[in-house]
Structure formats: structure tokens, C-alpha cells
Amino acid sequence: MKCMSKMWKKTGIAVMVLLLLAAVIPAGSVQAASKTGQYQKKYKTQVSFPVWSEPAYGVVINRIKNGKVRFQISRAGVNGSPIYNSNVIKAKLKNNKASFQWKDTWGNSGTGKLKFSGGYVKLKIKQTYTADLNRSTLDTGGKFVKMKKISDSKKLFDKWG
């Protein structure tokens, strides 16, 4: 009988320890960070007028599903002028990379590559057609622009395209 009593005592202590651990360790789901959301890269500028908004590239990854990615690219100049938004782009995603064609709100168009890499998005954009009255470009000059995630928002800039 003494042996059974000691066993129940040890079992009771073990259960209390498990309950205590469960109460102390914070609950939460353990899953990989989502690649959807808003990414941005700001640039410093030196101009002779006040700057309240630095020029920036941005991309919104709206959806990743069935090996396809849906996103939109944006570029804003100093103080938000000019602003260029691409059409909503849908591209095949293979090994965290996608090639695509784009057109922007000013009538420019071109090709590009998107990569997911270590929590960042990298974009390389080439403009192949320049529209009349063009003031700037989405073109990245042959280099990948590395953007960090700034928000989980998947709201696109514009629904055209």
C-alpha cells in the first residue's frame, strides 16, 4: 500500500509541474512568417527644399497560392511626387522567384524579376517602353532593390489591370 501511495504522490507532483509549465509558457501558434504584406526601401536625398517624405520603392504581396504570386509595385519621388504604381501583376512563383511583365499608371512598361530571400523581397525592374510625359521610372538600373517588410497589409494601391 505504501508503494501505491508514493506512486500517486509522484504522479500528482508531475501533473502539478506540467500545469505550472503550461501556465508560465506563453501560448501562441508556431508557424512560418507570411510572405504577404507591404515591403519598402527608402532612399536619402539631398535637395534644396524641405523633405517630409523620402523617395521610396514599395511592393505589396497580395496573395501567394498554387505556385502563383499576385503583387503590385510602387515608386514615389521626393515628397511623394511623382507616384508610379504598376498594374496588379500575377506571375508564376518557382523556387521563391518570379519573372513578370508590368505597366505603370503613366503608360510605361517593362519586365522584372521578384525574389523572396531571408524575410526580404528583392526586385529588379527594367523599363522597355517610355511613355510621353514620363517624369521618372520604376527601372532599378539593372540591380536588385532589397526591401524589408513594413506591414502585414495586403491592400493593393489600385485595382486596375
Pair 112, 123: CB distance under 8 Å: yes
Task: Write out pLDDT tens, residues 120-148.
Answer: 999 999 999 999 888 788 889 999 999 99
Of 127, 122, 126, 130, residue with least CA distance to 142: 126
Query: In which band, very low, low, confident or very high, does the pLDDT at 65 lie, cut at 50, 70 and 90?
Result: very high
Cell of 4: 501505491
* Alpha carbon distance 15, 20 (integer Å): 9
Helix or strand or coil: residue 135? coil
CA 2 to chain centre: 63
CA distance 71 to 67: 13
Using the predicted structure, report yes or no on whether residue 88 has a pLDDT greater than 50. yes
pLDDT of residue 61: 95
Mean pLDDT of the chain: 79
3-class secondary structure for 47-73?
A: CCCCCCCCCEEEEEEEEEECCEEEEEE
Structure-block grid coordinates of residue 150: 513594413
Looking only at the bridges linking them, the beta strands covering 68-76 and 56-65 are antiparallel
Residues 7-23: what's their mean pLDDT? Answer: 45
Model confidence at 79: pLDDT above 70: yes
CB neighbour class for 61 (10 Å; exposed up to 12, middle 13-18, buried from 19): buried
Helix ranges (H only) for the chain are 2-24
